[in-house]
Chains A and B, each alone.
Chain A
Amino acid sequence: MLSKSDVFYDRYERKAELQHQTHYCPGCGHGIAHKLLAEAIHDLGAKDSTIFVSPVGCSVFAYYYFDVGNVQAAHGRTPAVATALKRSCPGSLVIGYQGDGDLAAIGTAEILHAANRGEAISIFFVNNAIYGMTGGQMAPTTLVGQTSTTTPWGRRPANEGYPIHVAELLATLEAPAYIERVSLHDGKNIMKARKAIRKALDIQRAGAGFTFVEILSPCPTIWKMTPVEAQRWVEEKLLPVFPLGILRDRRPAIAADGGPPRKPMAEVLGLTRDAAGAIPASGAGAAVQPVTVKVAGFGGQGVLLLGQMLAEIGLREGMEVSWLPSYGPEMRSGSAHCHVCIAGERIGSPLISNPDVLIAMNELSLRKFAPHVRAGGLILYNQDALPAGFDAAAARVVCVPASRIADDLGAARAANAVLLGALQAETATFGAEVALSVLVAAIRNPSLHELNRKAFQAGRSFAAERTAAA
């Protein structure tokens, strides 16, 4: 019995309607390629150990269809994402799936380097000689003379160059284990494609290295043909330019040294573990408490650095940390913010929607992010008083005139150190000693160390006096 593979979801949860059909046009080769892949994954018994990397382009929605691990990569970055996945989950079957615009245009460098490193991943390259999703612009694989929306008189080598033969290009490299080009233009060739897909996955599973299958695929809608005509066009026009066959099938010898030594991060950083395997807190004061912080302000105010310092404090105390910067091209006097997580366990996402603490360096940041601070959280605002008409009902707001204090000490740039001090005194989530040592380590210019120490202490004093006065 041949029927829908259980590697496909029963329903595709992408819209209220159309949950049982793919979004592909009638006669599109993606559906056939998907079917072959799903069947191969099923037959390998790899449904629970497969990670599928969906690309940008028509097949962007592949994650709606395959009931396996799914990651969607940015344009052209599938080989890089697949590399990361394979290296962090070595036992998994990592499948990259890319179209010709994705792989051969914006992602040319990615695929070359992944292949050259011999990454043990499988890339399936669907070549239909055109940009399908965006309406039919010329692709790197468009044939000479073929019309597209950007080559309305046909592709001319003098103007647009020649089609790129990706499989042949990759076959010039040392590392790849298996490279084959197949086609979906008739039943016989579909069965050959089926075999090639299985072989690529088998070789990946054996750990032999990089595997690549180029699949010539019909695109009836953009080629303006019936599905049957499109299959004939693949056979008559694409095949002579992109000949089918195995270009590489060997197990490359991998050097015996096996790469750089792998050490736990704590060991690399010189943190020693105790007998129970835990990293003891280094600071004399209280161990760091889990906290999420958003630091926001203008570029140049030390926003990102302050976030980095907070993360470093957590790191030194043996916590899990993440630091996620967000800044525009206007590195100076543009808006910038960063997310810092300090946690006792592994961090799922470095993104913080509702921080425990907001450090707002200016009014814009205060107004923008204050509403998202969790109820009972803390806001440190870099001013003498709150702006008129501002009400942060859910959070406690402390106004710390950090810029003014830093100015008085002699350098406005130390405002972030004042706020670090204020945060330390207000929350005691981390010790002053470890914060100071991080602060000194973070400031590269030794002549500024004393100033920053003073700024940090000034911030602590301000908060302490404020508390005493209240």
Chain B
Amino acid sequence: MAAEKRGFVSVDVAECKGCGLCVEACPVECLELEAGLNAYGVHPAHYTGAGCTGCGICFYDCPEPGAIEVMKIREAVHAPAHQG
């Protein structure tokens, strides 16, 4: 799947406050709240591991400056026109 190669999102479990806005905002529903708790006692968000398009909506929706990082993968194997 081309979509799986377009982006990657990582959530810093220690910084996530578990508000869930990223889960709500993600258009491809590739984020979810963990069942377990982090050090602050909230359910942190995490990437399900598939489907991220690198759109960055979760990054901008997240109120914590350093909790989410989104990578756009430039080498789109099946769609070179999307490069950059």
Give the distance in Å from the alpha carbon of A290 to the alpha carbon of B5 in the complex. Answer: 69
Cβ distance B39 to chain A, nearest Cβ, rounded Å: 10
Give the distance in Å from the alpha carbon of A209 to the alpha carbon of B68 in the complex. Answer: 35
Contact B64 A31 (CB under 8 A): yes
Contact A1 B65 (CB under 8 A): no
Known pairs A1-B70, A2-B56, A20-B15; A227 contacts B20 (CB<8 A): yes
Q: Which residues of B contact A3 (CB under 8 A)?
A: 59, 66, 69-70
Contact B63 A21 (CB under 8 A): no
Contact B70 A22 (CB under 8 A): no
Interface residues of A in 1-44 (CB under 8 A from B): 1-5, 8, 20-22, 24-32, 34-36, 38
Q: Which residues of A contact B56 (CB under 8 A)?
A: 2
Contact B61 A190 (CB under 8 A): yes
Contact B69 A187 (CB under 8 A): no
Q: Is B31 an interface residue (CB 8 A)?
A: no
Contact B65 A22 (CB under 8 A): yes
Known pairs A8-B65, A35-B65, A36-B60; A1 contacts B21 (CB<8 A): no
* A227: nearest chain-B partner, CB-CB: B19
Cβ distance B17 to chain A, nearest Cβ, rounded Å: 4
Contact B14 A20 (CB under 8 A): yes
Chain A interface size band reads 20 to 34
Give the distance in Å from the alpha carbon of A191 to the alpha carbon of B56 in the complex. Answer: 10
Interface residues of B in 28-70 (CB under 8 A from A): 42, 56-57, 59-66, 68-70
Which of A30, A35, A194 has the most B CB atoms < 10 Å from its CB?
A: A35
Contact with B along A63-107 (1 / 0, CB 8 A): 001000000000000000000000000000000000000000000
Give the distance in Å from the alpha carbon of A231 to the alpha carbon of B72 in the complex. Answer: 27
Which of B19, B24, B65 has the most A CB atoms < 10 Å from its CB?
A: B65
Q: Is A226 an interface residue (CB 8 A)?
A: yes
* A25: nearest chain-B partner, CB-CB: B17
Give the distance in Å from the alpha carbon of A3 to the alpha carbon of B68 in the complex. Answer: 7
Contact A27 B21 (CB under 8 A): yes
Cβ distance A397 to chain B, nearest Cβ, rounded Å: 55
B21 interface neighbour in A2, A24, A30, A228, Cβ under 8 Å: A228
Q: Is B25 an interface residue (CB 8 A)?
A: yes
Give the distance in Å from the alpha carbon of A21 to the alpha carbon of B57 in the complex. Answer: 20
Known pairs A3-B69, A29-B63, A35-B65; A21 contacts B17 (CB<8 A): yes
Q: Which residues of A contact B68 (CB under 8 A)?
A: 2
Give the distance in Å from the alpha carbon of A282 to the alpha carbon of B56 in the complex. Answer: 67
Q: Which residues of A contact B57 (CB under 8 A)?
A: 187
Cβ distance B50 to chain A, nearest Cβ, rounded Å: 19
Q: Is A220 an interface residue (CB 8 A)?
A: yes
* B12: nearest chain-A partner, CB-CB: A20
* A65: nearest chain-B partner, CB-CB: B65
Contact B63 A32 (CB under 8 A): yes
Give the distance in Å from the alpha carbon of A231 to the alpha carbon of B60 in the complex. Answer: 14
Q: Is A186 an interface residue (CB 8 A)?
A: yes
Q: Which residues of B contact A27 (CB under 8 A)?
A: 17, 19-21, 63
Q: Which residues of B contact A22 (CB under 8 A)?
A: 63-65
Q: Which residues of B contact A36 (CB under 8 A)?
A: 60
Cβ distance A99 to chain B, nearest Cβ, rounded Å: 15
Give the distance in Å from the alpha carbon of A190 to the alpha carbon of B60 in the complex. Answer: 7
Give the distance in Å from the alpha carbon of A88 to the alpha carbon of B72 in the complex. Answer: 42
Q: Which residues of A contact B77 (CB under 8 A)?
A: none
Contact A1 B72 (CB under 8 A): yes
Q: Which residues of A contact B64 (CB under 8 A)?
A: 21-22, 31
Contact B19 A26 (CB under 8 A): yes
Q: Which residues of B contact A26 (CB under 8 A)?
A: 17-19, 42, 63
Give the distance in Å from the alpha carbon of A194 to the alpha carbon of B56 in the complex. Answer: 13
* A3: nearest chain-B partner, CB-CB: B69
Cβ distance B53 to chain A, nearest Cβ, rounded Å: 13
Q: Is B2 an interface residue (CB 8 A)?
A: no
Q: Which residues of A contact B65 (CB under 8 A)?
A: 4-5, 8, 22, 31, 34-35, 38, 65
Q: List 22 A-B contacts (CB under 8 A).
A: A2-B59, A3-B66, A3-B69, A4-B69, A24-B63, A26-B18, A27-B17, A27-B19, A27-B21, A27-B63, A31-B63, A31-B64, A34-B65, A35-B60, A35-B63, A187-B25, A190-B61, A191-B60, A226-B20, A227-B19, A228-B24, A231-B21
CB-CB nearest 3 A-B residue pairs: A31-B63, A26-B19, A27-B19
Given contact pairs A2-B68, A21-B15, A226-B20, a sample of 10 additional A-B residue pairs in the complex whose CB atoms are under 8 Å apart: A1-B69, A2-B71, A22-B64, A26-B19, A28-B63, A32-B60, A32-B62, A65-B65, A187-B27, A227-B19
Chain B residues near A (Cβ < 8 Å): 14-15, 17-21, 24-25, 27, 42, 56-57, 59-66, 68-72
